[in-house]
Amino acid sequence: MSKQQFYLKLNPPRPTFILDMTAEEKATMQQHVAYWTLLLNDGIAIVFGPVADPTGGYGVGVVSVDDEDHLKKIIEADPANGLNKYEYYPIRAVFKQS
């Protein structure tokens, strides 16, 4: 079975979140980065990171998973899920040939 790729957008609780996180929110986001780093090291995440949009920052990621249920499990396990809200869309990713 071939993998499916999805684009994810992590919407923060407020437009200024990247600039004014509380200590508790910052700790949650550090756990989030550690979680996504593991996904990157496991080859599930292709890329992820914050976007410095002047109208309000947010996070993005692209993953390669078995199916949408696999993606939902990844989102549910994210320490930042709930503090932030996910939206995701299928993407027809093109990969560099090695």
Residue 60 near residue 7, CB atoms below 8 Å: yes
Look up the domain containing 52 and give its range: 4-91
User: Taking the CA of residue 38 as centre, how many other CA atoms within 13 Å lie in the half-sphere pointing to its CB?
Assistant: 9
Residue 98 domain flag: no
Residue 96 domain flag: no
Provide the domain count of the chain. Answer: 1
**pLDDT score at 49:** 96
Residue 42 domain flag: yes
CATH assignment at residue 21: 3.30.70.1060
Residue 97 domain flag: no
Which residues in the chain show pLDDT less than 70? Answer: 1, 98
Residue 47 domain flag: yes
Residue 54 domain flag: yes
**pLDDT score at 1:** 64
Check: pTM over 0.85? Answer yes or no: yes
The tokens for 35 are: 């979680």
Residue 62 domain flag: yes
User: Taking the CA of residue 22 as centre, how many other CA atoms within 13 Å lie in the half-sphere pointing to its CB?
Assistant: 5
**pLDDT score at 95:** 80
**pLDDT score at 12:** 96
